[in-house]
Amino acid sequence: MLIDNLHTIQVVLPIPFADRLTYLVPDALSHIKIMAGMRVIVPFRNKKLVAIVFDSLSSPYNKNLKSIIEIIDSKPFLPKKSLTFLYQVHRYYLQPLGEVVFTSIPKWFKNSTNPALPKEIWWQLKNQPSDEKIVSQLKSNKQQKIYQYLQKNGPLQSRSMTHIEATASAQCQALYKKNLLLKSDLCFVDAHPPADPDFILTDDQQKAVDTIRSNMGFHPYLLDGITGSGKTEVYIRLVKQLVNEGKQALVLVPEIGLTPQLFHEFAKRIHGRVCVFHSGLTAVARARAWVKAKSGEIDVIVATRSGIFTPFTNLAMIIVDEEHDLSFKQQDGFRYSARDLAVMRGKMENIPVLLGSATPSLESFNNAKNNKYHWLKLRERTNKQALPRIDILDVRTHKMQKGLSKQVLNQINEEINKGNQALVFLNRRGWSPKLSCQECGWVAESDQCDTYLTYHKHIHRLRCHHCERVYSIPEFCPGCGSQKIETMGIGTEKIHHGLLNHLKDVKVIRVDRDTVKTANQWQRTIDEIKSGVPCVMVGTQMLSKGHDFPNLTLVIIVNVDNSFFSLDFRATEHLSQLMIQVSGRAGRKHKTGKVVIQTQCPEHEFFQLLLGKGYQDYALHELEQRQAIGFPPASYMAIIRARSKNEKTVNDFFENILEHSIDNPTVSIMGPIPAPIYKKMGQYQMQLIFNGNHRQSLHNSLKQITDFIRSGKLNNNIIWSLDIDPINLS
């Protein structure tokens, strides 16, 4: 749209208090055609900031306006479709327009002093990824190593391979001279004819593909398929066809760690240019991927949640894999759900949106049940392998040795002796979650947060898992002076230690944030596990997601009982998803898997339902309960959170809000109540929970309240946020 005959333009800036600002176009720049979506540089509070021209305007000429300084682009940087989408997002989440727009743009483009994108070198194999002969012909052992590593993990920059070969860069150059590698300027695979042939689809897969192909306008689909039922194959088949027709697809995954796997599946099978996009890439790589998707030079992007904002020329499908995963929700700043935005964007672009999961979120389950989403089911594993058997082990009737029962230890030993792998899953790092006095009951607590401190043995210190502050161990109890201070409960570190003690000569790999800190360490750990060496892994949820470990046959899940006592109404939903996802790791290739759950509540109806009948029955039952109490997905929810170093400030903030909010009979307001962890990092946190049956009516209330807060009449010493469709109450 043309705005050039006007003297002013409206722009958005990354600021919270105004949606748009008006600037003057000075005479010196008036010969340039300014279009919506272009970037300009404007003066703002003594700074020069990048701003985005928004839409046409009709603001009257006003000589107090400031002038723009420079026009960066000659064509719209953000396409019209993106502007429309971002505007809708801003309306839905009630976030300042500028924050929404600037969240959607790669960091590189937000800095007015950044030059043109510098060169980066990414290496990938020139030949088909399955060419084994080349490896055997390479004389240099170092080159073999690099070649094989790229075969599995490429494209990569040489610095991501220095952990396997220090001279990676030189080896890449040498292989390039031998005409075995390709260079590219970003992490993407060049289009080449697919190496691997297609499977013959199962009946369920075929039906899913046909149904979606028959209706390529906007339609949300729930691809509800048990682990190992071949959901990925359905994605690939659909995307393959689209790419052959010259169209683009966006594939979202919950975590960076899952991008390489899916990226390679697509790259192997599709005759197109496939690229990854996530926050683990360099700013330059992200910027380049974004630009190439926008210009149509990339066909498929495999991305984490922020990828939902990528502009495309010809987007034809959005896929959200593991749609139930909480990582799709941004949990600070601008709190959006990439899954929900996928549906919103699909509607705007009039294209299908495919949500896949073995354990659909209750939201999607409910939508499928009410025929808002088309429900596609894959009910069999492609290899006809049975799902793993799940046993419940009552820890009250078994003697525990560092957190594991004798029986479990024996089972682990057996699997290892057969050459298999076992996994002990526990969502708690450190040695033990509590240190307390046996005489008076004193417990070591964080100074800054309302939590107990976790004991970490390898540093022989206590650590707060909320603020990460470290404390030394008191010699005497600060409460009564006794020396009987002991640790209580188990964490990954303790289980690891116990396994090393009880299973001599067995390899134990611990995977948590204390042992795996960098992307390279993570890659090395995953490489080792996937190589299939017999071992026991002890890990937190880092290990629970979509990774395929072919040799894993036994999964032990420890300490799930907290969920039954949680204040969060979604706790058991998350537990059921976790249990099924973790157990889905077992027995994938040709081996049958087994799962053992250690619990103190074996008779809980949760286990009867989930294990006796399965996820679908559990979800139906849970849905009825939500309906009975009037909670999501049977209602719509939002939370306003606020925190301050001063308790009174937080209280006053909420009191003020309540005083000024207009009555709305369709919305119930709970609170203000203290957050589950009231004091965190020295700040007091409170929240106000809104629950209502009508989305629009709830929205109206929230709009009125946030407008009031943003009008600036309240105390500035407060940090507040609005969370629409929260996924937890903490």
Name the site residues for ligand ADP (rule: CB under 6 A).
199-202, 205, 225, 227-233, 382
The interaxial angle of helices 647-660 and 695-710, nearest 10 deg, is: 120
Distance in Å, CB of 576 to ligand ADP, minimum: 17
Which residue's CB is nearer to ligand ADP, number 15 or number 201? 201
In angstroms, the CA 41 to CA 202 distance is 56
Contact between 211 and Zn ion by CB under 5 A: the answer reads: no
For the chain, helix, strand, coil in percent to 5 are: 35, 25, 40
Give residues with Cβ within 8 angstroms of 61, minimum separation 6.
7, 8
CB 129 within 8 A of CB 153: no
For residue 448, the partner it binds in ligand ADP, Zn ion, none, with Cβ less than 5 to 8 A by kind, is Zn ion
With CB under 5 A as the contact rule, the residue among 449, 499, 582, 611 that binds Zn ion is 449
Distance in Å, CB of 492 to ligand ADP, minimum: 26
* Other beta carbons within 10 Å of 460: 10
Beta-bridged to residue 595, according to DSSP, are 390, 555
For residue 225, the partner it binds in ligand ADP, Zn ion, none, with Cβ less than 5 to 8 A by kind, is ligand ADP
In angstroms, the CA 261 to CA 530 distance is 12
For residue 651, the partner it binds in ligand ADP, Zn ion, none, with Cβ less than 5 to 8 A by kind, is none
Distance in Å, CB of 382 to ligand ADP, minimum: 4
Q: Name the phi and psi angles at 678, rounded to 5.
A: -65, -50
CB 486 within 8 A of CB 438: yes
Which residue's CB is nearer to ligand ADP, number 204 or number 512? 204
* Other beta carbons within 10 Å of 543: 25
Contact map string, positions 407 to 446, toward Zn ion, x by CB under 5 A = ---------------------------------------x
Which residue's CB is nearer to Zn ion, number 308 or number 675? 675
Which residue's CB is nearer to Zn ion, number 453 or number 529? 453
Give residues with Cβ within 8 angstroms of 220, minimum separation 6.
343, 346, 352, 353, 355, 367, 372, 373, 374
Which residue's CB is nearer to ligand ADP, number 134 or number 226? 226
Which residue's CB is nearer to ligand ADP, number 81 or number 268? 268
Which residue's CB is nearer to ligand ADP, number 227 or number 310? 227
In angstroms, the CA 359 to CA 618 distance is 10
Distance in Å, CB of 677 to Zn ion, minimum: 9
Distance in Å, CB of 383 to ligand ADP, minimum: 6
In angstroms, the CA 300 to CA 319 distance is 11
Contact between 683 and Zn ion by CB under 5 A: the answer reads: no
With CB under 5 A as the contact rule, the residue among 239, 464, 508, 689 that binds Zn ion is 464
Distance in Å, CB of 251 to ligand ADP, minimum: 12
DSSP character at residue 517: -
Contact between 22 and Zn ion by CB under 5 A: the answer reads: no
Contact between 453 and Zn ion by CB under 5 A: the answer reads: no
In angstroms, the CA 335 to CA 157 distance is 32
Which residue's CB is nearer to ligand ADP, number 155 or number 584? 584
With CB under 5 A as the contact rule, the residue among 467, 571, 623, 669 that binds Zn ion is 467
CB 290 within 8 A of CB 282: no
For residue 467, the partner it binds in Zn ion, ligand ADP, none, with Cβ less than 5 to 8 A by kind, is Zn ion
For residue 255, the partner it binds in Zn ion, ligand ADP, none, with Cβ less than 5 to 8 A by kind, is none
Instruction: Return the biggest CA–CA distance within the chain.
Output: 84
Binding site for Zn ion (CB under 5 A): 446, 448-449, 464, 466-467
